[in-house]
């Protein structure tokens, strides 16, 4: 039996960092297809709209034929079931990620034992990179070159982030 392995890589991606890019490109080599699934989260106040995030990711991965982009709402395992994906991919940067990621993986397994969470380690230079810190550094006038795709850097500049955009 030769069944394609379809994986979902869920997240907020606000914005996409080189850490995400690293995990997606690793995932695209391990799985037959990988869907980057952007959470439609009405509670958080995102910097980029979901449409902007999808457009950025599409452009960055234009040359990856087995990487797709989508949005999802509600339970991740329900989304995975609907898309017939057997794997959830998450990046693990450091021990500090582990507790939250383990809780999510085990909750998702409780909700749907047929979906397996697979953790992937990003390349070492991205182990400290997060979307939240990227936004903070840009708002305070620092450089995030090498930490995000150049397209994301341009879009961040267009947003004209300042100190006042940082939450207390």
Q: What tokens does 77 get?
A: 């395992």
Rounded (10°) CA dihedral 25, 29, 35, 37:
-40
CB of 111 to ligand PNS, least distance (A): 7
CA 52 to chain centroid? 14
Question: Contact with ligand PNS (CB under 6 A): which of 30, 40, 102, 107?
Answer: 107
CA 48 to chain centroid? 13
- 36: contact with ligand PNS by CB under 6 A: no
Q: Exactly one of 12, 28, 53, 131 is catalytic; name it.
A: 131
Q: Is 110 a catalytic residue?
A: no
Q: Is 20 a catalytic residue?
A: yes
DSSP 124: G
Nearer to ligand PNS, 11 or 116 (CB): 11
Question: Contact with ligand PNS (CB under 6 A): which of 104, 118, 121, 137?
Answer: 104
Q: Is 159 a catalytic residue?
A: no
Q: Tell me phi and psi for residue 62, to 5 degrees.
A: -55, -30
* 118 contacts: CB under 8 Å, gap ≥ 6: 7, 87, 88, 89, 90
Question: Contact with ligand PNS (CB under 6 A): which of 17, 18, 28, 108?
Answer: 108
- 39: contact with ligand PNS by CB under 6 A: yes
Residue numbers at the binding site for ligand PNS (CB under 6 A): 10-12, 39, 75-76, 104, 107-108
């Amino acid at each position: 039996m030769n069944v394609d392995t379809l994986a979902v890589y869920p997240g907020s991606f606000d914005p996409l960092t080189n850490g995400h890019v690293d995990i997606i490109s690793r995932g695209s080599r391990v799985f037959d297809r990988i869907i980057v699934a952007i959470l439609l989260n009405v509670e958080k106040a995102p910097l980029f709209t979901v449409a902007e995030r999808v457009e950025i990711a599409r452009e960055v991965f234009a040359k990856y034929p087995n990487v797709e982009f989508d949005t999802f709402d509600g339970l991740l395992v329900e989304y995975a079931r609907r898309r017939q994906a057997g794997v959830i991919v998450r990046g693990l940067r450091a021990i500090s990620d582990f507790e939250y990621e383990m809780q999510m993986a085990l909750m998702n397994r409780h909700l749907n034992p047929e979906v397996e969470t697979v953790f992937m380690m990003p390349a070492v230079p991205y182990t400290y990179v997060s979307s939240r810190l990227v936004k903070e550094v840009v708002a305070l006038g620092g450089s995030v070159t090498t930490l995000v795709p150049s397209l994301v850097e341009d879009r961040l500049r267009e947003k004209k982030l300042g100190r006042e955009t940082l939450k207390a």
